[in-house]
Chains A and B, each alone.
Chain A
Amino acid sequence: MEVDSLFGDYPLDQAFDEMREPGGALRPHYRALAETLARLPQEELQRRKQSAELSFLTQGITFTVYGRDEGTERIFPYDLLPRLITAQEWDRIERGLTQRITALNLFLRDVYSDAKILRDKVIPRELVYSCKHYRRQMRGLQVPRNVYIAVVGSDLLRLNTGEYVVLEDNLRVPSGVSYMLTNRRVMKRTFPQLFHSYGVRPIEHYSQLLLATLRSLAPEGRPEPNIVLLTPGVFNSAYFEHTYLARQMGIDLVEGRDLVTHDNIVYMRTTDGLKRVDVIYRRVDDDFSDPLIFRSDSSLGCGGLFNAYRAGNVTVTNAFGTGLADDKAVYAYVPDMITYYLKEDPILPNVKTFLLSDDKQRQHVLANLDKLVVKAVGESGGYGMLIGPQSTARQREEFARQIEANPRNYIAQPTLDFSRAPCLIGNHLEPRHVDLRPYILFGEKVNIVPGGLTRVALEKGSLVVNSSQGGGSKDTWVLEQ
């Protein structure tokens, strides 16, 4: 088959296409992939696709969809074609993310200690203190190595200029890394030769890096720390990931009911009696972590955990209160943080963001709701969002009312025509919108495994990539050269 006949309904417009140049020619680094696909007989391609899907199924790689009674375990949809990132592009992303995460961490330390940045009026005091993820309890608390955000997954988009921008930083409990790892494993089996010929940088050591990061944050005087992963339990949407990571790292997967505290020390109940816990990789939100400090109706956490943490007897990571820095309104100030703390220019730009607590910006946004994307500041996962061009008048009215009622709770951004990558739809390639979530680890230093999770809005024309809303994923190959 000719390369051209691979393309089905493959329109090129102003959005950046990962595979093709505006004129239609293949980008050089995608050529080998397209040629390999063109050489494969249709049946063979379909066979590989099925075999890849079956592999996800039997491994039980599923996520949970909320709000449905039956069949709540779903397979995460998967696209067969890898997304390619050149060494040059990656270098910039890596430097940009390192810079950004370093600044965000400094910001958290500052806000929870001297709050210089507020005194210098770089960020409005009110904006920080009105954030619902700000945790007063963290003031003046010394965290190990001053690392607040050890595990981060930032979402990047690529604009029509080809430039990568940061859409949001997930600084609380980012998920999806298990899909990155399992995608790669399946991909290596599906296209072994192609993988080899491309020279792809490895990511498989992520679990090891994560374990090393967690170990590096252990309380002092605990040379052989007992590290555990705290999960909300089997009903959480990311439960598969929790079991996967625990198994890969060889650490215990605990639930809140496994933990007890005594004299500010956290223990887990084992068949050998109580065993001290030193580091908790927490996949439970702040709110549910300790009923004595946060939400008292939570049964997912462990009473007394926060006091043990405050006493320095246990490390909990990410730290509490980090959601402050991924608040979508605080996000608007990240470039200013980079300049303020690092005296550098931001390498990765932000998306233009309108703060609705500002009267002038709010009037502008309300007048242009049909063109903008409105997001609730403290939400994630694609919830609490209005996409202007795809909304109905009624939805816009509803959002306008909510914005007027609580302007601090919303921000607006232009509707981005972010990049598209080829996906195998039926027998042909069609472009679909993609984002990129690299996973960043911050222990002794910042570590980023090359690539990350490329999420795909599998529905034609859709801009929503979240797994909870019909998104899928593909493997991401960062090339050596």
Chain B
Amino acid sequence: MLSRVADSLYWMSRYLERAENTVRQLDVTMGLMLDTTGTSAETRWQRLMASLGKSGSPEKTPGMEWNGDLDAMARTLVFDSLNHASVTFCINGARENARQVREEISSEQWQRLNRLFHQMHSQHAQAQFRSSINDSLASVVDGIHLFKGVSDTTMIHGQGWQFIRLGRYLERSYATATLLEVYQADMFQEREQDHSGYQYLELVGLLRCCTSFEAYCQVYTADLSPDRILEFLLLNRDFPHAIRYCVDGIRDAIDAIQRNGGRRPPEEFTAVIGRLHAMLTYTTVGEILAGEPGAFLHSIREQCMRIHEFIYRNYVQYSIQSALAT
């Protein structure tokens, strides 16, 4: 498979995952703002920006500083296609990448993504957003889910599909780690003092950000506690939004790419993935909490970035000299 094509598929997938994540987190944050707790709307918004990883780059994400007008800010975060944090920006990016590999993806995939793209740019979407933000956000998530569905059912599960998975799981691991890192400080602070319903709502919100409330309840019942949530979102083997599951997915995808004719990853590459995998497989939540959970989460993010670099170095931007030598 052409390196450029792999690159486009990988980014198409990452952008869509990012769009979905943004929509979900925005939805949850706005829901939480309805309850008047000690946490101010401003703090919530800043936390949202931090967990989307957007707090550090105001030049690319103008208008994301809290200004009190929540509706306007939410609309910017969804529709402003010039704003790098926005959902529309991500969907544009996904579609642009797909357009460049039109011959690699199925017609169904293209049509789905195209429809989602046109939906984001339609008058109707703006009107729907004004009348019901929830419906509007839900329809975006639906569009993305449909795309993932046709991707899985209409595309050959060869290298291209594996690069799509790789993009999805890497983006998701990184986003979930960021989210947990932002939330963990508050999560464990409030544990002692508050037994009103507010903390419950906060924790449900955190789980909802990862569409994991129902899954969590199946495993632990509705008895929400911060350490269990951390355990579930970090270490669960079977839940697709848990970081461990995603890292397993990354490992699988890399193996499958090699089986399908991709380059053999160098040892340092497999070592990075192996280390992260081992970290999530053989550490207990007790050990994490005994140490520094923030640092642990931060280290996951760093390792994700290293994996991304290795993906580039191995499949996309490898040096010609080294490729000629083999």
Partners in one complex: yes
Give the complex CA separation of A270 and B110 in angstroms. 23
Query: A247 near B: Cβ within 8 Å?
Result: yes
Contacts of A59 in B (CB 8 A): 107
What does the 1/0 interface line of A247-273 toward B look like (CB < 8 Å)? 100001111011010100000111111
CB-based contact A269/B102 at 8 Å: no
Q: Does A58 sit within 8 A of B, measured CB to CB?
A: yes
Instruction: Establish whether residues A246 and B2, one from each chain, have CB atoms under 8 Å apart when the complex forms.
Output: no
CB proximity to A under 8 Å, residues B1-50: 1-6
Q: Is A60 an interface residue (CB 8 A)?
A: yes
Contact partner, B323, options A233, A246, A253, A273, Cβ 8 Å: A273
Chain B nearest CB, measured from A52 CB (Å): 17
Contact A234 to B100, CB < 8 A, known contacts A58-B111, A262-B320: yes
| Chain A, Cβ-Cβ closest to B311 | A271
CB neighbours (8 Å) of B100 from chain A are 233-234
Distance between B271 CB and nearest chain A CB, rounded to angstroms: 20
Of B3, B99, B110, B261, which is within 8 A of A269 by CB?
B3
Q: Interface 1/0s, chain A 149-183, versus B by CB < 8 A? A: 00000000000000000000000000000000000
The majority secondary structure among interface residues of chain A is mixed
CB contacts under 8 Å to A, within B269-324, are 315-316, 318, 320, 323-324
B191: Cβ under 8 A from any A Cβ: no
Question: Which residues of A have CB within 8 Å of B3?
Answer: 258, 269-271
CB neighbours of B323 from chain A (8 A): 269, 273-274
Contacts of B5 in A (CB 8 A): 252
Residues of the A chain whose Cβ atoms lie less than 8 Å from the Cβ of B111: 58, 60
Evaluate contact between A270 and B326: CB separation under 8 angstroms.
no
Of chain A, the residue at the smallest CB distance from B322 is A273
User: Which residue from chain B places its CB closest to the CB of A249 in the assembled complex?
Assistant: B103
Given the known A-B contacts A60-B114, A260-B320, A274-B320, are A269 and B2 also in contact in the complex, defined by CB atoms under 8 Å? yes
Contact across chains for A258 and B4 when beta carbons are under 8 A apart? yes
Are A254 and B103 neighbours in the complex by a CB distance under 8 Å? no
Question: At the interface, yes or no: A317 with Cβ under 8 Å from chain B?
Answer: no
B240 at the interface (CB under 8 A from A): no
Q: Which one of A240, A244, A257 lies within 8 Å of B4 (CB-CB)?
A: A257
Q: Is the CB of A262 within 8 A of B324?
A: yes
| Bound: A240/B111 CA distance, A | 14
**A53-84 contacts to B (CB < 8 Å):** 58-60
Find the B residue at minimum CB distance from A263. Answer: B324
Q: How far is the CA of A58 from the CA of B112 in the complex (A)?
A: 10
Contact of A252 among B2, B114, B257, B316 (CB under 8 A): B2
Report which B residues bind A (CB closer than 8 A): 1-6, 99-100, 102-103, 107, 110-111, 114, 159, 163, 257, 261-263, 315-316, 318, 320, 323-324, 326
- Which A residues are within 8 Å of any B CB, using their own CB? 58-60, 233-234, 240, 243-244, 246-247, 252-255, 257-258, 260, 262, 268-274
Return 27 A-B CB contacts under 8 Å, by A number: A60-B110, A60-B111, A234-B100, A240-B102, A243-B103, A246-B103, A247-B103, A253-B103, A255-B4, A258-B2, A258-B3, A260-B320, A262-B324, A269-B2, A269-B3, A270-B1, A270-B2, A271-B3, A271-B6, A271-B163, A271-B257, A271-B263, A271-B316, A272-B1, A272-B262, A274-B320, A274-B324
